[in-house]
A = this chain, B = another copy of it.
Amino acid sequence: MIRRALEALTAYTPGEQPADAGIVKLNTNENPYPPSPAVERALAAEVSGRLRRYPDPSCAALRGAIAAEHGVTPEQVICGNGSDELLSLVLRALVEPDGVVGFLEPSYSLYSVLCAGLELQIRPLPLADDWTWTLPPEVRWDLFLLTQPNAPTGRLTPLPQVAALAAALEPAVLVLDQAYVDFAGATGLELLGERENVLVLRTFSKAYSLAGIRLGYALGPAPLIAALNKIKDSYNVNALTQRLGLAAFEDQEWMRDNAARICATRSRVAAALARRGFEVTPSQANFLWVRPPAAPATAWLACWRAAGLLVRHFPGPRTGAYLRLTIGTDAEMDRLLAVAPPA
């Protein structure tokens, strides 16, 4: 009864969400600060009399605000149940069944899971030892998912290199997965105006402190956005998420202040870890990709875990020696820095 392709498929593994509320979660790149107070006010105003109704299938108010902020038209915006849903829609709408999908390796491990579920071929582009990449002489992908900045490495591909990839891919689509872009110094949104084959994905899960409501959006040329709209579930974004997302989005200052705080903590922690002998990859995201000294990464993982601090380890030949540390509050990071190294 179950599709053959699913038998060999292993589901994407999300980071651990521990039941213990006392643990310091630095493993899934959440924001340590609360969302804008406007979100709580919107929640209180959302009377139960409205929840019995279906949500706006088009997310019109939210799309209008997003379009205005980014200087595009509402027809160039689609909202999703997290940017994970948008990734799935992109692959279902823009890649033929025999198509080949590209992405950096390592990057977001969901990509290969989505492709396997859709029976699409993948041809990853391996990163160099310093986690950068170069454009191969021949570009043969039918769609490329560029994590920008990348996860788990935190590196931002320079914009001229992004533009060159978009040009080389044409007419195939370049998707810029910008979950962490609010912590970076550049956005690459300029490409949207220049190219017909670029889509940008954004999320409310990181800089807006709203991982719990599931909200992402895509920006791009109207014909591509229309194709995604054709196959999305009608009511893909629930009413509360639309309302709270709008409240948070209208408070850009709150988001930018928190992002700046996190970037400041990131610099401080990166320097402190480097002084302790960690190899620290330059990061433009809300996490640090570090290679610990002296003991294996898994020993540091266990050490921090024992001290009530959860960070993320990705087993595998390329990534197994590293750990990804989400930037928490200054107090949380001080706790992390205070833990004694593995014996």
Contact = CB atoms under 8 A, between A and B. Distances in A.
A334 interface: no
B224 A1 contact: yes
A205 interface: yes
A17 B57 contact: yes
A70 interface: no
What copy number does this chain have within its complex? 2
Interface size class of A (residues with CB under 8 A): 35 or more
A57 B212 contact: no
Given A235-B82, A236-B81, A56 B6 contact: no
Interface string A17-45: 10000000100101111110101100110
Nearest to A242: B212
Contacts of A230: 6, 9-11, 117
A293 to B, nearest CB: 31
A52 interface: yes
A54 B10 CA distance: 21
A197 interface: yes
26 contacts: A1-B172, A2-B93, A2-B223, A2-B224, A3-B96, A4-B96, A9-B231, A11-B230, A35-B51, A43-B48, A51-B211, A51-B244, A52-B209, A52-B211, A53-B211, A55-B214, A81-B81, A82-B233, A84-B234, A84-B235, A85-B236, A97-B97, A110-B234, A211-B235, A213-B239, A240-B240
